[in-house]
Homo-oligomer: A and B are copies of this chain.
Amino acid sequence: MKKVRIALLGLGNVGKGVWNILNSNKEAIMKRSGYDIEVAKILVRDVNKNRNIDVPEELLTTNSEEIFNDDSIKIVVEVMGGLEPAKDYVLNAIRRKKHVITANKMLIATDGNQIFKEAAENGVIVNFEASVAGGIPVINGINESLTANKIEEVIGIINGTTNYILTKMTLEGMSFEEALKEAQEKGYAEADPTSDVEGYDAMYKLAILTTLAFETEVNINDIYVEGITKIKAIDIEYGKELGYVIKLLAIVKEVNGKLELRVHPTMVPNIHPLANVNDSFNAIFIKGNAVGDLMLYGRGAGELPTGSAVVGDIISVLRNDSEVLNGLIDRYTDKELATIDDIRSQYYLRISVKDLPGVLGKIATILGENEVSILSFIQKPKKEDFVYIVIVTHDTLEGNVNRSLEKIKELEEVNKVENIIRIENLN
């Protein structure tokens, strides 16, 4: 049996998952890869930290040069996360002709092009299946299996934390704050949950999916991002009455030659497969012009699911069947981008108004004047000294909705536009 030596950069959750899988599935992995994989070195910040894992101490090092200078190490597995020093290490590994596996969404979303370019120049492979949706093989799916398709749309539930929170709010009637607290207690949310609940985590992943599916360079600043903190229990309840479930969706689609890139809470019809993706599960819904509708569902995080993707990527390198990916940048074309005002969608609007005669008419008139056609218009029972009006619009331009709302806000009968949630009528 041929032997290959690899190194891990990082021994946090994902690193531990990789170590455990390489050991527990060793025999199957040998047969499938044709190699006996030896972890030769593991870069850590503190050799003496108690890690609760059975790793021989002599493998641990705090000196990255021990790895980069060792020509017998052929593959470097970056599972430390964050931009720096991860970027520096990855480029270093590539320049020393080592193949790289990374689980780092931020790095690939931000500096993927430089990394792919240098990898091509140095004749090494960079695989990053684990960077999006953990164990779900969406990168390979797009790159290896859906190659016959012009992909028209990718819609993902790709942040487990927010999906857990929204599921708890939907199925158990929790408030956002209660659900977040439970997610933190269960380890699904960080102490500082900003990156998840504000949609930034999903934004990085959407950038990577877009690059692959639409073969174009994506700047994360071009992605419209809106988190879930503004979603109230009452919106979830009204959504339910209307037949919708609220999910944080990451959406890219090509409409009239322009690419829409957006992450935001969205009402999804409750009969759609995405509506039933609950708890911390992830799912990616893909529409291709040949394959039609496809959905991949599974664990988007966790040490073993993410480790599954990382180890799968290692095996791909050993089988040498992933070289083409680095040709991706050669296939890039420029895509015109839509602004958020350009998009067409249906909208759910919740407006609190004083319970005065004529207010419905005034709101309806303003919407009509701005070419927003109303699908349903419900006045909810009075709360204290105001009532909620819930409007569902037909498909319209977001710009029309925004212009209408500016005027509606000025009506003296209107207290506040409480919430605006886009509706994705997936068909």
- A residues engaging B (CB < 8 A)? 17, 21, 24-25, 28-29, 31-34, 129, 135-137, 140-141, 144-150, 215, 271, 273, 276-277, 281, 288-299, 302, 304-305, 307-312, 314-316, 319, 321-324, 327, 331
Q: Given A147-B32, A276-B276 in contact, is the A311-B293 Cβ separation under 8 Å?
A: no
A299 CA to B314 CA in the complex, in Å?
A: 30
Q: Given A147-B32, A312-B145 in contact, is the A294-B289 Cβ separation under 8 Å?
A: no
Q: Given A315-B147, A321-B323, A324-B319 in contact, is the A298-B308 Cβ separation under 8 Å?
A: no
The answer to whether A29 touches B147 (Cβ under 8 A) is yes
User: Which of chain B's residues has its CB closest to A288's CB?
Assistant: B308
User: Which of chain B's residues has its CB closest to A32's CB?
Assistant: B147
Q: Given A291-B135, A292-B302, A297-B295 in contact, is the A148-B31 Cβ separation under 8 Å?
A: no
Copies in the complex: 2
A340 CA to B382 CA in the complex, in Å?
A: 61
A304 CA to B277 CA in the complex, in Å?
A: 27
**CB proximity of A249 to chain B, nearest CB, Å:** 17
A276 CA to B269 CA in the complex, in Å?
A: 13
User: Which of chain B's residues has its CB closest to A148's CB?
Assistant: B311
**CB proximity of A332 to chain B, nearest CB, Å:** 10
**Set of chain B residues within 8 Å of A215, measured between Cβ atoms:** 28, 31
**Set of chain B residues within 8 Å of A141, measured between Cβ atoms:** 137, 140-141, 145
**Set of chain B residues within 8 Å of A296, measured between Cβ atoms:** 294-297
User: Which of chain B's residues has its CB closest to A27's CB?
Assistant: B150
Q: Given A295-B298, A323-B321 in contact, is the A307-B21 Cβ separation under 8 Å?
A: no
Partner of A144, one of B34, B144, B292: B144
Add 4 more A-B contacts to A24-B289, A321-B324 (CB < 8 A): A28-B149, A28-B215, A147-B312, A319-B323
User: Which of chain B's residues has its CB closest to A316's CB?
Assistant: B144
A78 CA to B160 CA in the complex, in Å?
A: 42
Top 5 closest pairs, chain A to chain B, by CB? A137-B145, A148-B311, A321-B321, A290-B308, A135-B291
The answer to whether A298 touches B292 (Cβ under 8 A) is yes
**Would you mind naming 23 contact pairs between A and B with Cβ atoms under 8 Å apart?**
A21-B148, A25-B148, A129-B145, A135-B290, A135-B291, A135-B294, A136-B294, A140-B141, A144-B312, A144-B316, A147-B311, A148-B308, A148-B311, A148-B314, A149-B308, A276-B276, A281-B293, A290-B307, A290-B308, A295-B296, A295-B298, A296-B296, A321-B323
**CB proximity of A109 to chain B, nearest CB, Å:** 21
User: Which of chain B's residues has its CB closest to A290's CB?
Assistant: B308
**Set of chain B residues within 8 Å of A276, measured between Cβ atoms:** 271, 273, 276
A22 CA to B281 CA in the complex, in Å?
A: 35
Partner of A292, one of B273, B289, B304: B304
The answer to whether B25 touches A289 (Cβ under 8 A) is yes
Partner of A293, one of B24, B299, B316, B324: B299
**Set of chain B residues within 8 Å of A322, measured between Cβ atoms:** 321
Partner of A150, one of B28, B149, B319: B28
**Set of chain B residues within 8 Å of A281, measured between Cβ atoms:** 293
**Set of chain B residues within 8 Å of A323, measured between Cβ atoms:** 319, 321
User: Which of chain B's residues has its CB closest to A272's CB?
Assistant: B276
The answer to whether B321 touches A304 (Cβ under 8 A) is no
**CB proximity of A132 to chain B, nearest CB, Å:** 13
A68 CA to B85 CA in the complex, in Å?
A: 56
**CB proximity of A316 to chain B, nearest CB, Å:** 7
Partner of A140, one of B145, B273, B308: B145
**Set of chain B residues within 8 Å of A273, measured between Cβ atoms:** 273, 276-277, 297
**Set of chain B residues within 8 Å of A146, measured between Cβ atoms:** 137, 308, 312
**CB proximity of A422 to chain B, nearest CB, Å:** 23
A290 CA to B309 CA in the complex, in Å?
A: 9
**CB proximity of A268 to chain B, nearest CB, Å:** 13
